Amino acid sequence: MTPTTFSVRTLGCQMNVHDSERMAGLLIDAGYTPVDLVPDAAARATDAGDGGADIVVVNTCSVRENAATRLFGNLGQLAAVKRERPGMQIAVGGCLAQQMREEIVHRAPWVDVVFGTHNIDVLPVLLERARHNNEAAVEIEESLKVFPSTLPTKRENPYAAWVSISVGCNNTCTFCIVPSLRGKERDRRPGDILAEIQAVVDAGAIEVTLLGQNVNSYGVGFGDRGAFAKLLRACGQIEGLKRVRFTSPHPAAFSDDVIDAMAETPNVMPSLHMPLQSGSDAVLRQMRRSYRSKKFLGILERVRDKMPDAAITTDIIVGFPGETEEDFAQTLAVVEASRFASAYTFQYSPRPGTPAADRTDQVPADVVTERYQRLIALQDRISTEENEALQGSVVEVLVADGSGRKDEASERISGRARDNRLVHVALPPEQAGPAPRPGDIVRARVTHGAPHYLVADSALAGGLFEIERTRAGDTWQAAQAAAREAREASEHPTTAVGLGMPSLRRP
């Protein structure tokens, strides 16, 4: 019998990626099949992003500008696909679903399921309910019922894993809709987190990223303000775990015990994402960001004192309501002093339901755009200078999957260095032995620094090129072999003899 296939599309942050892995795990557990394992289904994929699947799940984000406009544009494309694909179902989840609820079905009545950030676990049940009742199933919870990390998962990469340490946020930033959609912060117990990390390492992963809306406030919920530093140190005791990262901290609660734990735990990587948002103290106050530029720069100074090679990245919003040219000049000054490796920069756009959206002193769009371009130019210059300074240094790169056409054309592989910089590494002209696999680690010398990446072409001139074949690479290779077998099995199905027994899973 032909399997029922699914595809999960992820929009937004790392927490959404983590949630999408849980959605995929739930659907597999319910008997559905990833569409990429069924070639005949995948071959019917369209430009609408359906992947050729019978079930398309869109995990939405409400942070980006015009998120709703983009969602309904995509749903319109999927409607055309659904008309030509009998039995197809469309499900919408994530932050925008939590915010818009029944309105999604009112505006796109061909959507079958709407579920929110607090009840990922009901996705298979809602799909079945919608199918049985022949009407949309909408279910939104106001608070978390099941911690997502307890759910089945299909990880995006076998060599790296996202592990959630908390959900929700207790901050009240005036520009941010996340707390109202993700709820108040809830912390997992350290033992549960470490058990999950051990499980993913046992399954072949060598890199873990700890996730939370504000990771360094972890532990407040159970009365231990030093819990995050202790958690980092505990990760250092897990055999086989080579790399630990985390995102995102908050400057107001970032403490020296965390810096010490990073510096003193060998498998915690020398990379830090520290959101600035604005360099103006006046704007930070209006944003309800409970730190000021002096404190922020002090954190960076202490991090670099303990970890001189740390790469620090940030988030910056341009054009927050009431921002003056003087405010923006202060942001540029802090960026210049901070020497960020890179920055995620955003033009402010109002989010309905946030205090900043109701302000009458919105900055004109042309002013915001002009300031944004100046910020981009400054950060590109700094990023280029910082990356060029690394020419001649040795990088240790965890090879990534899906490098893209550019790498195929240049015969390079790509991955992340210890400090999380993107590195493109040339293979030797005459490779001796098997090529490195995703999950393996290569060492090479940097030959070029660009604004957004490094190039390590030392192998082309007979220079440094070393491969460490890892358990993670073995796991990736085994996963590829299993996927090939599954695809072949779907192309040449065997006929089973039924015994008349009821099935508890979907075919």
Q: Which residues pair with 413 in a beta bridge?
A: 425
235 marked as binding residue: no
Check: CB of residue 355 under 8 Å from CB of residue 179.
Answer: no
Residue 311 and residue 431: Cα distance in Å, rounded? 31
Residue 356 and residue 102: Cα distance in Å, rounded? 25
Residue 262: name the closest of 252, 249, 275 by CA: 249
**Residue 42 CB coordination number (10 Å):** 18
Number of H helices, E strands in the chain: 16, 21
Check: CB of residue 165 under 8 Å from CB of residue 219.
Answer: no
**Residue 138 CB coordination number (10 Å):** 20
User: Which residue is it, tokens 């039924």?
Assistant: 498
Helix, strand, or coil (residue 244):
strand
133, two tokens: 């009742």
Amino acid at 178: V
Residue 174: what are its φ and ψ, rounded to 5°?
A: -75, -15
DSSP state of 451: S
Residue 32 and residue 53: Cα distance in Å, rounded? 10
Overall size of the chain counted in residues: 507
- Collect all residues with Cβ–Cβ distance below 8 Å to 432 and sequence separation of at least 6: none
Binding residues: 13, 61, 95, 169, 173, 176
Binding residues for [4Fe-4S] cluster: 13, 61, 95, 169, 173, 176
